Structure 1
């Protein structure tokens, strides 16, 4: 009997250890601005977080198109959050497989915890144990401009083959979507000069990300004549450009959210200055503030770098939807630590939170914030009901992140679409280059002067609507056709290096590559014809007149075209909701939605899908 028991135990242990290790994630180069400083101390304890594979993700595009394609019988029949959670919750088999593997490697069950949502397992392990588990080596990386340190492995990590199929990604490992934390001695007003474009991954910091509005300076003698729309874009120019005149009927049912990342903040007096000139009935009106992870409309730092983005987004977004439609401001992250897109997604969908009420310290803002002056409340996890339209004028270079990380986040955007939320992201302001004009070397590293096109993210995710920029050509009339924006900024676009061509784009991409093949070498962009193309839609992004710090400035960027698109789509939702229809949700399959929709009086003449 004793022998049988021993043999049974041997068999049980061997069943979870016999499969060979396979490379699970790999990156060819670390993001610009970071360098390996030293070997990580082997005794350092880290929270190893294992993201479990979500079932049915192979069908997520099918589920999304089922409720989003205008020819589908289920168009507009969006899912509830409960159905989303049930459909994509990791299986018990995945949980058990990973637990058994950890146990076989000597990690006691008392050190392993399953998140509330069932999506992540966390194991408290030393660096030495993590290196043994993942067959990798950890180093401490240092940021060249701030001195911030980050623990990561450089080239890749491995998992047993039978475990790998149950795991999306493991952190901390390769991911550098990390805020550059600053100590309390560094005032916010000093940050603009200290954060170099292209190095900071704290997306609210001035100069960070692939989308940063540009200005050509002060505007004097503003006239609201439509004859000047080639020089000054005002709300009336937008209305004339897109035949957009609409009076809402269902504002109590409708919602429009604009996302800002602290320390970006609007200035109330600038709002009134803008409204006094362009929408007098809105003087004194403010967006409804939803604070996520201590998000605050700060007034410590005032400059174009800190106020230009928020002022631009809210002044035009609010003016175009008018005084009757409330606009929600999602202000994300406190002044000390800031936040990432994951912090926003955690607040919108509790099933996305990485672990209990927190996030991954290698990637996201961690709340409560232990730094002096930080937000001490609980992390925002499923605390916010998503608006029907959510506009975000921020982004990363796709190459800043690993494919596994972007895939997991992209799937969350698909879930929001299935729930009926329209997610808009700016496509970028550097043409085919990334932030600060960096492109890709053949080995995947980023550098100024490299030749490979560098797509943006999340705009390259096939489940968001990526918004590019157009312009009224110099000397042209507001009624003349626009062109792609090439004034001050260059509308971002191209083909993803990470995401496959979605079915709704197949005809358009095939037609484009056949009839209008890009005049560039095939080895400097993803020329396969099998990858996600972006942007999906474009709107004017040049010569915006924005009130910033007590004066009007001329502003350029897909930062402008995105909230404008959001305002127009909000009107479409209003028309649908007014007659008992659902919101539009994910719009990409509809193709030319704005081209076939007439925004004219009376309101019920708005095209309703």
Structure 2
């Protein structure tokens, strides 16, 4: 054992003989002060077993983007239809220039690392050099950050190495935004809430069939299929035309999109698209699982590939699979990636010259489980993708305004509150809620507790596109004081739009199952947007990019079917209700593809 520890220590420590850079040596001795504290979320407890001092952590250091105000301004200008720069997106190099740290910040941080025995040559830098990744043993990180890590165990049995507080020399506070893994307990859970092995049985008494003859022949009680979605949202007569258009979806923590299940699904519900099952590209990031012919599937991965391929064939389709933890085995002394997976995914995608025009992600967690610094860093990463012309969509969550019995603040005060979700609360993504039935209403399923998620962020202020449109404040006024004190009236409100998220037919392990969740709604809206982007590109135009300014300046009201029934039940309350116009239970409603094309001046009958 001692030999193993010695080897690991020798491999992990990158000691430099030189003294710190003399130019900044006075800073190296500036006193430490606390950079960040964060309460341990419910469900997590510190175990009696500390992490082994030689346990390796893949540490990510995020440098502050001091030009983010400029980046945000550019993002809004290229995303706002009334602006003369609309859809004049930035290149990767131009975005890198906006986020690259200044020389002083880089020099000070490199000096700090060297002073703690870390060779700069052992660090991995993002292309913009705004993220630094280095593998270090726990004992060394504890000294660097003046902290103490513990092994925290979740009530479901998974474990993480985390701390509740970390510090930096005072002169570095203005240059470093976040360091992870430290205080972030985000679990990145897929937004799926039920698995029914026998679709078509045990229906809710208030399930009801389509109301038109055409829908009756295509959509039914037994479950949602690609044919139903294509007819319902008007994409059934459109075939992708641009060879350069693409759509991607992301999976985390072992979720896999299985090719065999996809082939079986498509042969049943979209026979002309069966080739997609073998043709779509799978990219592994940070050791993420991919289907190698022997790997098992995940419900989320299968739902994504089958939903998207069923609607977008023959468009190029990419699956990102990102590793990370949980799971983490504290009794195994092996190099372990314990980062929150969004950081790994963002760094990989941001480093690529070419990225898909539309990306769907159906993962999230309670916003308050995430430190503000982490949420801001990740959210700014999504803004960078938007500036490059990428439409980034996230599911809004599956527990309404919060799961019953859990709706309390995590700051030690246990204040009653609705629980917003992250990343749905990020203002630089498009959040997608769920609907059910015909005509559509806010989705719910009382058998498993599923309710389409909605809320107001406690971290991010109401963005300019919501303020300027006035729709959020109008909705808040309509509540007439209901739920006052339970939510942040000045926060970013979500979802922005919605789509069917109830009883999707999926093939899993060769068997037919039925799934609920905004995990279904998100890839459905993303598929529709990807077809709009395809039509634009086929016409020689740039894709939509960041959607929200477009949605909130008219497209949302014109090109989405208003959802006026249902509510985002949760926190032992009725939750926010749907209403005429934009509402926080369903956003602008569900997509109308032909109207989107008409708004953009494209021929909606093209095929």
- Structure 1 length normalisation: TM-score? 0.74
Q: Give the match for residue 256 of structure 1.
A: 247
**Hey, what's the Cα distance between the residues in 2 that align with 1:312 and 1:11?**
55
Name which of structure 1's ranges 457-466 and 285-294 shifts more when overlaid on structure 2: 285-294
Contact 2:113–2:119 (CA under 8 A) maintained in structure 1: no
Q: Give the match for residue 321 of structure 2.
A: 331
Contact 2:27–2:171 (CA under 8 A) maintained in structure 1: no
C-alpha spacing 1:34/1:385, structure 2 compared with 1 (3 Å): farther
C-alpha spacing 1:45/1:604, structure 2 compared with 1 (3 Å): closer
Shift of residue 112, structure 1, vs aligned partner: 8.2
Residue 485, structure 1, aligned to residue 496, structure 2: no
Deviation string 1:573-597 (CA, Å, 9 cap, x unpaired) is 1221122110000001112535534
Match of 1:161 among 156, 166, 170: 170
Query: Runs of 4 or more off by more than 6 Å in structure 1?
Result: 9-12, 40-48, 122-129, 221-225, 334-339
Contact 1:112–1:121 (CA under 8 A) maintained in structure 2: no
Contact 1:248–1:574 (CA under 8 A) maintained in structure 2: no
C-alpha spacing 1:217/1:459, structure 2 compared with 1 (3 Å): same
C-alpha spacing 1:426/1:518, structure 2 compared with 1 (3 Å): farther
Q: Give the match for residue 474 of structure 2.
A: 511
C-alpha spacing 1:122/1:317, structure 2 compared with 1 (3 Å): closer
**Hey, what's the Cα distance between the residues in 2 that align with 1:247 and 1:423?**
22
Deviation string 1:508-553 (CA, Å, 9 cap, x unpaired) is 221111123562241x322xx2211111111111122333334433
Match of 1:247 among 238, 249, 253: 238
C-alpha spacing 1:594/1:282, structure 2 compared with 1 (3 Å): farther
C-alpha spacing 1:289/1:514, structure 2 compared with 1 (3 Å): same
Q: Give the match for residue 226 of structure 1.
A: 215
Deviation string 1:93-134 (CA, Å, 9 cap, x unpaired) is 11233345667xx54575786543432457898867755654
Match of 2:302 among 293, 308, 311: 311
**Hey, what's the Cα distance between the residues in 2 that align with 1:123 and 1:266?**
30
Deviation string 1:350-378 (CA, Å, 9 cap, x unpaired) is 2xxxxxxxxxxxxxxxxxxxxxxxxxxxx
Residue 53, structure 1, aligned to residue 64, structure 2: yes
Contact 2:397–2:433 (CA under 8 A) maintained in structure 1: yes
Deviation string 1:167-215 (CA, Å, 9 cap, x unpaired) is 11234432334xxxxxxxxxxxxxxxxxxxxxxx3x5xxxxx1612423
**Hey, what's the Cα distance between the residues in 2 that align with 1:261 and 1:537?**
24
Shift of residue 410, structure 1, vs aligned partner: 0.9
Matched positions, count: 516
**Hey, what's the Cα distance between the residues in 2 that align with 1:606 and 1:325?**
23
Shift of residue 276, structure 1, vs aligned partner: 3.6
C-alpha spacing 1:562/1:13, structure 2 compared with 1 (3 Å): closer
C-alpha spacing 1:238/1:97, structure 2 compared with 1 (3 Å): same
Residue 599, structure 1, aligned to residue 599, structure 2: no
Shift of residue 277, structure 1, vs aligned partner: 3.7
C-alpha spacing 1:550/1:30, structure 2 compared with 1 (3 Å): closer
**Hey, what's the Cα distance between the residues in 2 that align with 1:66 and 1:431?**
33
Residue 403, structure 1, aligned to residue 393, structure 2: no
Partner SS for 2:389: coil
Contact 1:439–1:446 (CA under 8 A) maintained in structure 2: no
Residue 64, structure 1, aligned to residue 65, structure 2: no
Q: Give the match for residue 499 of structure 2.
A: 539
Equivalent runs, 1:420-435 vs 2, <5 Å: 420-433=389-402
Name which of structure 1's ranges 60-69 and 333-342 shifts more when overlaid on structure 2: 333-342
Contact 1:112–1:124 (CA under 8 A) maintained in structure 2: no
Contact 1:572–1:606 (CA under 8 A) maintained in structure 2: no
Q: Give the match for residue 468 of structure 1.
A: 433
Shift of residue 503, structure 1, vs aligned partner: 0.8
**Hey, what's the Cα distance between the residues in 1 that align with 2:375 and 2:303?**
28
Partner SS for 1:218: coil
Contact 1:417–1:586 (CA under 8 A) maintained in structure 2: yes
Contact 1:25–1:158 (CA under 8 A) maintained in structure 2: yes
Shift of residue 275, structure 1, vs aligned partner: 2.9
Equivalent runs, 1:91-110 vs 2, <5 Å: 91-99=102-110, 107=116, 110=119
Name which of structure 1's ranges 128-137 and 453-462 shifts more when overlaid on structure 2: 128-137
Shift of residue 251, structure 1, vs aligned partner: 2.8
**Hey, what's the Cα distance between the residues in 2 that align with 1:170 and 1:578?**
42
Gaps of 5+ in 2: 1-20, 202-208, 328-335, 560-591, 603-607
Residue 439, structure 1, aligned to residue 450, structure 2: no
Shift of residue 225, structure 1, vs aligned partner: 6.7
Q: Give the match for residue 366 of structure 1.
A: none
Shift of residue 32, structure 1, vs aligned partner: 2.3
Shift of residue 48, structure 1, vs aligned partner: 6.2
Contact 2:284–2:320 (CA under 8 A) maintained in structure 1: yes
Partner SS for 2:36: strand
Partner SS for 2:457: strand
C-alpha spacing 1:153/1:600, structure 2 compared with 1 (3 Å): closer
Partner SS for 1:386: coil
- Structure 2 length normalisation: TM-score? 0.74
Deviation string 1:60-98 (CA, Å, 9 cap, x unpaired) is 321210111111111111101011111111111112333
**Hey, what's the Cα distance between the residues in 1 that align with 2:84 and 2:158?**
55
Name which of structure 1's ranges 45-54 and 387-396 shifts more when overlaid on structure 2: 45-54
**Hey, what's the Cα distance between the residues in 2 that align with 1:169 and 1:268?**
38
Partner SS for 2:445: coil
**Two-structure CA RMSD over aligned residues (Å):** 3.7
Q: Give the match for residue 460 of structure 2.
A: 499
Partner SS for 1:439: coil
Residue 571, structure 1, aligned to residue 531, structure 2: yes
**Hey, what's the Cα distance between the residues in 1 that align with 2:258 and 2:24?**
64
**Hey, what's the Cα distance between the residues in 2 that align with 1:50 and 1:349?**
16
Match of 1:292 among 268, 271, 284: 284
Contact 1:318–1:327 (CA under 8 A) maintained in structure 2: yes
